[in-house]
Structure 1
Amino acid sequence: MAPLPRVISTVHCDADGASSSLTGSALKSVRSVVAAPENELKRWRRVFEANAKVVIDGEKYLDPDSFVNAIAPKDDSTKIGRAQFAILFRVADSSKRGLVSWDDFTVFETLLKRPDADYWIAFKYFDVDNSGTITFDEFKNVFSANVGPSAIPFDFDCDWVKLYLGQKNGTHVLGYNEFTQLMKGLQGERLRQAFKYLDKDQDGFIRPEGFKQIILEIAGHKLSDAVIERLPTLCTLTAGGRISYSEVVAFQNVIREMDMVERIIREATAKSKDGRIDQSDFLNHSAANSRYALFTPMEASIIFHFAGRGSGEKRLTLLDFAQLLDPRWRAPHEEFEAVQVKTSFAQGVLKSAYSFVQGGNIGFAGAFGATIVYPIDMGKMQNQRSTVVGQMLYKNSMDCAKKIFRNEGFVGFYRGLGPQLIGVAPEKAIKLTVNDLIRGRAMDPETGRIKLGWELAAGGMAGGCQVIFTNPLEIVKIRLQVQGEAAKLEGAVRKGAVHIVRQLGIVGLYKGASACLLRDIPFSAIYFTAYSHLKKDVFHDGYNGKQLSFLETLGAAAVAGMPAAYLTTPADVVKTRLQVEARQGQTHYKGLTDAFVKINREEGFKALFKGGPARVLRSSPQFGFTLLAYEYLQKYPWQQNKPEVKTALTSKRDDMSRIRARNALKILLDVHGDFGRRAAKFSHPLVKQIPSKDSPSRTV
């Protein structure tokens, strides 16, 4: 690389933490290379090359605009404008020539790697002469240069400033650590001075418009436009139509602790039964999760006043708090209309049709899983009576498997698979579509919550609706399965599926439907409810923006199938007995109740749970993979995203250096909201721009 046109000086920190001056671009580059791993240097180089449009003597440079493009977060959750990131250009441009070279850029990126980069950059912004200390004049001049003429004046001759910088002229300067403490307390002093300045009558109250001006100057970048417009309404919390100093301080404490406010609100609403909380819930959760009291009753009232749009006594949802927590919040008609307005009839039909088709597609995928676990179904032995012509056919599942293999070969394990595969697609399509449809109608659109009764009802109705397809196919499947037993009897002849259908007729195909309903309704009610609560309560789906991983979703779906399969085994046993054609010497059952009574009397209560473990082994993985596939395919193309409260806590994490750059801006904007808006434009008389799609080649 060719030498730079000018020598650049910078400030670095020695091993003992003391600041000292360092000159020489080459030495800076060495320090940057040592500090940054090779992969980071390559990434920085790619960013620099992609944005550097200025060329001087064959060397590329960043001007203020391209520098902002290089360092500003791509998806920021704050109201900080991209133009305000030009504040940081002054820090990176240590030579004060209006351009940032590759060496300058590596030094700046290395600074951003510091754990205290936000305060360090703010320090360098005020340290105009790069001396490593900040004098009273530097502090005053930088402050004043970034504040407009209409701003509330700040008294630099106050006792608070003198405590940090001394009373004698030039005898005390601020080192880095002292400066960080000054910046942390500066906003509180500004608030005190501003209130005193606006309190013309010295009676401890200011007008609502004065309060709004104070907050806009020191915290406007932290609040949404909706909250800013409603700032004057703080005067309605107490009688008199004016705002006290206590209320101003309380409001500022809420803003300063906004991350903690958000955590408490998210956790409290997540634990609430109805997804809503009131002021008591907020304060109770705050007290239960902190060593000392974090928020006063006045601060809690302010939080609920602005979140509740003036009605602080309501129980509020997380979405209600969005306008306070999210600086970029927009009104419901702009952002959250999809939740407020019910889906049109046409959209509902399209969604249901799409879900049905997806359920069918998933059913085909489920058919593969059904094929894999089908031999387990053969080993349930639910039709095994106490005796068959004087002897037990199978002693246990292993004995059953051995005899099936010996008598019928490997193919014997898959008797009746055809009807099972035919029924998988419509069964899953109906079940999943009906469950989603009912849950969607019963769900609270603001909280996304659904009452337990409706969860069970949605699952139960879904299970009941599928019986119209599953019962005929199951009776054919079961009769094909038990033909192996019949073949052991002399004179038994195998029959195909078509023969069985003709023999039964339409009415006969629904034999045992009552038992099938008794099995499928509670199965689906238990399964879908357990699945939903495992995702939400165990794996914390949606909490702080969390999305379940592949294994977490599979685990929830598989585990939910275990209690559903085992607890409905008695109904499955009775259904099997009713649907199987009884042979000579076997007990005949007149109906559902008769079957329960006779099985319990002749074979004992344990007989009702025959095949229970086998049902768990079969249903758990099959439904696990089926629901997993459904979760990844259930979004329909025209779906509007469900509204979320996206803030710094839940937004996709940007590169740490970008986060620290943004935080450095927040520290400066806490001084005054005008920082960066009054920054001067830089130029260079010998600038030549590289041609690009957005910026054609030109010479100045």
Structure 2
Amino acid sequence: MASPTPSKNPLPVVHADSGNSDGGAAALVQTVKSAVRVPESELRRWRRTFDANAKSVVDGARFLDREQFVNAIAPKGDLTRIGRSQYAALFRVADVAKRGFLSWDDFVVFQTLLKRPDADYYIAFQYFDVDGSGTITFDEFKSVFSAEIGSDAIPFNFDCDWVKLHLGKKSGAHVLGYNEFTQLMKGLQGERLRQSFRYFDEHQEGFILPDQFKRIMLELAGHKLSNVVVELLPTIAALTPGGRISFSEVVAFHNVIREMDIIERVLREATAKSKDGRIDQSEFLNHAASTSRYSLFTPMEASIIFHFAGRGTAGQRLALIDFAQLLDPRWRAPGDIEGAAVETIPSSTVSTLLSNLAQSAYNFVQGGLAGAFGATIVYPIDLGMSLMQNQRSTIVGQLLYKNSLDCVKKVFRNEGFLGFYRGLGPQLVGVAPEKAIKLTVNDLIRGRAMDPETGRISLFWEIVAGGTAGGCQVVFTNPLEIVKIRLQIQGEAAKVEGAVPRGAIHIIRQLGLLGLYRGASACLMRDIPFSAVYFTAYSHLKKDVFHEGYHGKKLSFFETLGSAAIAGMPAAYFTTPADVVKTRLQVEARKGQTTYTGLADAFTKIYREEGFKAFFKGGPARIIRSSPQFGFTLVAYEYLHRFFPYPWKETPRDVETALTSRGEEIVKTRARNALKILLDVHGDFGGRTRPAA
């Protein structure tokens, strides 16, 4: 049978003699560059990498030897179990001229090859194509395969029907082009799995022992399994009676490992949508089925996933962190150091208490800074709101302001621009502890009520945390607001009545300690429901509307600001009646104005004299004030946390995998991905010390 013509590729097959001369190498580089467009910025980044690692000098030119090449391409802190030595296998492909070192042009060609969407298959093809002919014969496939798996591995029968179907007979009449080779490599592990099972199942009973199953998986996919999963491999026998493992279970487990990226996506999406952050086996299968045209996983495969995630305990609801040992090959149990279990020493109660106090103090300072920032931005709106709320429809004499716009005009005309910031000093002095205690208490209670595995908190505890935070702030809010409001009110009154404005110290002395808490009951009535609604709405807007944390998403500045501002609207408007009553109780009544003896008396008289609408005076202004104020306050608080986190904060373990990691250089990530097909030949591919080709 005639040999087929090798399939066309986006890039030419790189033959072994392509780089034997400078002209040939230059022509190859030019061909590769023209086939795959490489941005100048990426070429500069490659150049920096090459220059930083190329220490070998030949005839005045710098080159990469094998070790320097590995340093240049291997990711640092990679989230896989691929050893750095295994990246040396790629050197054989990069060293086209077989000189034992790489020039800058060789490095450019190799990095350009890695940009191919099929780089993993293409690199494997180059590796097996020993003679650089552009085709792979039976002898080439057998020699490379045998050298990589080693003599101590589970034997592979090259005379099997599967190999004959792909490569024909041993005579070499049939060779593989690139596209045929990719299909062979895709089915290789399946054939190895069948042969390995048959090798141990000598009597063809359809079962193997747990230790035999463990050996098969270590050879085929050992680099994909964490140490914990490796130790638990024999326990798969517990899924069915008899203490032995069937071929169906072997295939099911192998399918789970092969489709781990899809499994991770399904798990992340399903747990993110779950109300409590946990899912059971049925929910996993339902979500997998709803996100695909056909069923992705069988019930046996789902049972295996939950078996290893739950450490052998079936039927439980699991959080994403429970699946970490299956998803992350480098996952270690808490307390493990370099894979060796050590006894964890629990921290003392005193040290834990001190740590919590220190973190709360740190949050308190950040909350104060954030509160001062938000209050300063919206203070002119706050001034107008106070003036409008205190204006009575039954006032003796003329009405000072027709509407909010008229109020702004008169304040500016009578007091100038600085008049909009009258009373800001006491506001800033008090706003720091006010906002700080609110934010700190809310965070503290949410942290204590939060499920440490899912990071979720129930709606009840969200409301309790917000309400408690609002109640605690009143100890600072009430004195602050009574002084601020009297300073705001007396400014315009002084212009109309000819009175002399008094400072904050005079007002404090006039009121006394008890007087500073006049209207505290109304303040509590306003602040508790406000914070309960506000913090709960803010949390759910971030999570449910803007999908914070979904696929690792972090909210942008405007998404955070939008969440905080929108949450403030209902919280501000529906607590306006309590705010109106509080203002009336705290303001010193002028001659002819109604006085109030308490909370109930104020509600009754305001309703009788001014009607129900009076309770919502300044409501729109309150929304305009509170919404941006808390928006900017929360944004400032979030960004202070992001850029200046508490240095000694104990964060819960996250499920960080190669799928979600974004910290590696993209070039080095490509190098890792290029090894995927070669590692399917043997999990330790390239790990043995071999002479250079």
Q: Give the structure-1-normalised TM-score.
A: 0.91
Relative distance call for 1:557 and 1:280 in structure 2 (3 A) is same
Relative distance call for 1:16 and 1:421 in structure 2 (3 A) is closer
Relative distance call for 1:58 and 1:406 in structure 2 (3 A) is closer
Are 1:519 and 2:526 an aligned pair? yes
> Gaps (5+ residues) in structure 1?
1-11, 684-700
Query: Do the aligned residues in 1 keep the contact of 2:366 with 2:637 (CA within 8 Å)?
Result: no
Relative distance call for 1:337 and 1:480 in structure 2 (3 A) is farther
Deviates more, 1:72-81 or 1:154-163: 72-81
The residue that corresponds to 1:6 in the other structure is none
The residue that corresponds to 2:442 in the other structure is 435
The residue that corresponds to 2:591 in the other structure is 584
Q: State how far apart, in whole Å, the 2-side matches of 1:448 and 1:638 are.
A: 19
Spell out the pairing of 1:271-350 with structure 2 (5 A cutoff): 271-334=273-336, 344-350=349-355
Are 1:403 and 2:410 an aligned pair? yes
Relative distance call for 1:362 and 1:476 in structure 2 (3 A) is same
Query: Do the aligned residues in 2 keep the contact of 1:64 with 1:682 (CA within 8 Å)?
Result: no
Question: CA-to-partner distance for each residue in 1:270-298, whole Å, 9 max, x for gaps?
Answer: 11111111111111111221111111111
| Residue 588 of structure 1, CA deviation | 2.4
The residue that corresponds to 2:566 in the other structure is 559
Query: Do the aligned residues in 2 keep the contact of 1:92 with 1:108 (CA within 8 Å)?
Result: yes
The residue that corresponds to 2:31 in the other structure is 31
The residue that corresponds to 1:646 in the other structure is 656
Query: Do the aligned residues in 1 keep the contact of 2:462 with 2:532 (CA within 8 Å)?
Result: yes
The Cα RMSD (Å) is: 2.6
The residue that corresponds to 1:374 in the other structure is 379
| Residue 393 of structure 1, CA deviation | 2.8
Find the partner of 1:167 among 148, 166, 169: 169
Q: State how far apart, in whole Å, the 2-side matches of 1:597 and 1:339 are.
A: 63
| Residue 357 of structure 1, CA deviation | 4.7
Spell out the pairing of 1:462-481 with structure 2 (5 A cutoff): 462-481=469-488
Q: State how far apart, in whole Å, the 2-side matches of 1:95 and 1:273 are.
A: 59
Q: State how far apart, in whole Å, the 2-side matches of 1:674 and 1:408 are.
A: 80
SS in 1 for 2:390: coil
| Residue 384 of structure 1, CA deviation | 1.5
Question: CA-to-partner distance for each residue in 1:26-68, whole Å, 9 max, x for gaps?
Answer: 3123324544343333322222222122223323222211110
Residue 635 of structure 2 aligns with an amino acid whose one-letter code is L
Question: CA-to-partner distance for each residue in 1:190-236, whole Å, 9 max, x for gaps?
Answer: 10111111111211111011111111111111111100111000000
The residue that corresponds to 1:246 in the other structure is 248
Query: Do the aligned residues in 2 keep the contact of 1:483 with 1:494 (CA within 8 Å)?
Result: yes
| Residue 448 of structure 1, CA deviation | 1.1
Relative distance call for 1:513 and 1:275 in structure 2 (3 A) is same
Q: State how far apart, in whole Å, the 2-side matches of 1:524 and 1:204 are.
A: 64
Query: Do the aligned residues in 2 keep the contact of 1:152 with 1:194 (CA within 8 Å)?
Result: yes
The residue that corresponds to 1:41 in the other structure is 43
The residue that corresponds to 1:505 in the other structure is 512
Query: Do the aligned residues in 1 keep the contact of 2:249 with 2:300 (CA within 8 Å)?
Result: yes
Query: Do the aligned residues in 2 keep the contact of 1:134 with 1:173 (CA within 8 Å)?
Result: yes
Are 1:539 and 2:549 an aligned pair? no
Are 1:111 and 2:118 an aligned pair? no
| Residue 167 of structure 1, CA deviation | 3.0
Relative distance call for 1:38 and 1:272 in structure 2 (3 A) is closer
Query: Do the aligned residues in 2 keep the contact of 1:340 with 1:445 (CA within 8 Å)?
Result: no
The residue that corresponds to 2:99 in the other structure is 97
Relative distance call for 1:456 and 1:199 in structure 2 (3 A) is same
Identity of aligned residues (%): 71
The residue that corresponds to 1:216 in the other structure is 218
Are 1:629 and 2:636 an aligned pair? yes
| Residue 17 of structure 1, CA deviation | 7.2
Residue 680 of structure 1 aligns with an amino acid whose one-letter code is R
Question: CA-to-partner distance for each residue in 1:588-624, whole Å, 9 max, x for gaps?
Answer: 2232122223323332222211112212222222222
The residue that corresponds to 1:663 in the other structure is 673
| Residue 85 of structure 1, CA deviation | 0.4
Deviates more, 1:450-459 or 1:304-313: 450-459
Spell out the pairing of 1:56-205 with structure 2 (5 A cutoff): 56-167=58-169, 169-205=171-207
| Residue 264 of structure 1, CA deviation | 1.0
Q: State how far apart, in whole Å, the 2-side matches of 1:506 and 1:453 are.
A: 35
Query: Do the aligned residues in 2 keep the contact of 1:394 with 1:400 (CA within 8 Å)?
Result: yes
Q: State how far apart, in whole Å, the 2-side matches of 1:75 and 1:138 are.
A: 35
The residue that corresponds to 1:5 in the other structure is none
Residue 27 of structure 1 aligns with an amino acid whose one-letter code is A
Residue 98 of structure 2 aligns with an amino acid whose one-letter code is K
| Residue 651 of structure 1, CA deviation | 0.5
Q: Give the structure-2-normalised TM-score.
A: 0.92
Q: State how far apart, in whole Å, the 1-side matches of 2:126 and 2:321 are.
A: 40
Question: CA-to-partner distance for each residue in 1:299-318, whole Å, 9 max, x for gaps?
Answer: 11000000000002111111
Query: Do the aligned residues in 2 keep the contact of 1:195 with 1:206 (CA within 8 Å)?
Result: yes
| Residue 492 of structure 1, CA deviation | 4.4
Query: Do the aligned residues in 1 keep the contact of 2:114 with 2:674 (CA within 8 Å)?
Result: no
Query: Do the aligned residues in 1 keep the contact of 2:367 with 2:440 (CA within 8 Å)?
Result: no
Relative distance call for 1:479 and 1:271 in structure 2 (3 A) is same
Q: State how far apart, in whole Å, the 2-side matches of 1:228 and 1:38 are.
A: 45
Deviates more, 1:334-343 or 1:240-249: 334-343
Residue correspondences, number: 673
Q: State how far apart, in whole Å, the 2-side matches of 1:429 and 1:20 are.
A: 65
The residue that corresponds to 1:262 in the other structure is 264
Q: State how far apart, in whole Å, the 2-side matches of 1:342 and 1:460 are.
A: 32
Q: State how far apart, in whole Å, the 2-side matches of 1:167 and 1:612 are.
A: 87
Query: Do the aligned residues in 1 keep the contact of 2:285 with 2:302 (CA within 8 Å)?
Result: yes
